[in-house]
Amino acid sequence: MGMYEQIARNKRRTFVMLAAFVLLIAAVAIALGIIFKAGVAIVPIAIIIAIAMAWTSYFASDKIALAASRAVPADGPEYARYHNLVEGLCIAAGLPKPRLFVVNDPAPNAFATGRNPKHAAVAVTTGLLDTMNRVELEGVLAHELSHVRNYDILVTTVAVTAVGAIALMADLGMRFMWFGGRSGRRDNNGDNPLGLVLVILAFALLILAPFAAQLMQFAMSRRRELLADASGVQLTRYPPGLISALKKLQDNQAVVHHATRATAQMWIESPLEQDREAETAAAGGEKKGSWLNRAFDTHPPIADRIAALEAM
């Protein structure tokens, strides 16, 4: 499959994923309506809420992602190399230059965010700038700009916001079920088997929805990382740069302090401690875990990514 066909497929997957998140948010809202006894009137309200959340995610998720990571604009002469490399890569890729940010953190890492190439941003940690030489940093930046060119950034940033919204709504319903709705369930559902079944199904949905949302999010993330590696080295025409950078990331066990499970998929490598420990164990020949644990990985193993690049 050619690169342009892959980009077109990514765009289609983006809209499919947006629709899936809208449906999941609507289902969670309907479950809340059942628990709060709002009746069938909650259905159109839930759909409107879901569409509003998706629309807000589309336009504001980059700001949310940058704020959550505590990224600040990369102003000042100390970031001249950073700006020069991005400018050169953007000229080669035919992309507008994104806004550039820095995260004050010693762990080497980077991410891209935004809804399209015209409204994109790239952020790197101070640790990445200090750790990588010029060709390694160029490889990392080419990887992130490939996320921009391939329209990965839209689905990534929307997924971060959508997963957070689903988790928040589910938590609200769970708290009401346990602390605010016990007496109501005993009084009103005892003589209504159908009502009791609906409450049980709503309760089950509230438990499973956050996990389903994260599985959707992480599965998309793993595929897109491999594509960004490949298209990144096509951009630099120098695979050893990104390979060397990935090896340094593999050896460095520092974690990004302000990263969370919700934002982990944005980074070039998982910024979370448990994921880095699992990666180290896998590199040492130990079993990484069950299929369920691997399903919640935000990135493919670095060793697999390096092997794929070395085979190019």
Catalytic residue numbers, as ranges: 144
Return the bridge partners of 113, or none: 121
What is the three-class DSSP state of 267?
A: strand
Chain position carrying tokens 């990935």: 246
Distance (Å, rounded) from C-alpha 177 to C-alpha 144? 43
Evaluate whether 238 touches 133 at the Cβ level (below 8 Å). no
What is the three-class DSSP state of 237?
A: coil
108 phi and psi angles, rounded to 5 deg: -75, 120
Q: How far is CA 204 from CA 45, 221, 298, 304, in A?
A: 21, 26, 25, 36
103 phi and psi angles, rounded to 5 deg: -110, 120
What crossing angle do the helices spanning 3-35 and 152-175 adopt, rounded to 10°? 10
Q: How far is CA 290 from CA 44, 119, 221, 296, in A?
A: 40, 39, 19, 10
Q: Which residues are CB-contacts of 96 (< 8 A; sequence separation ≥ 6)?
A: 90, 117, 118, 120
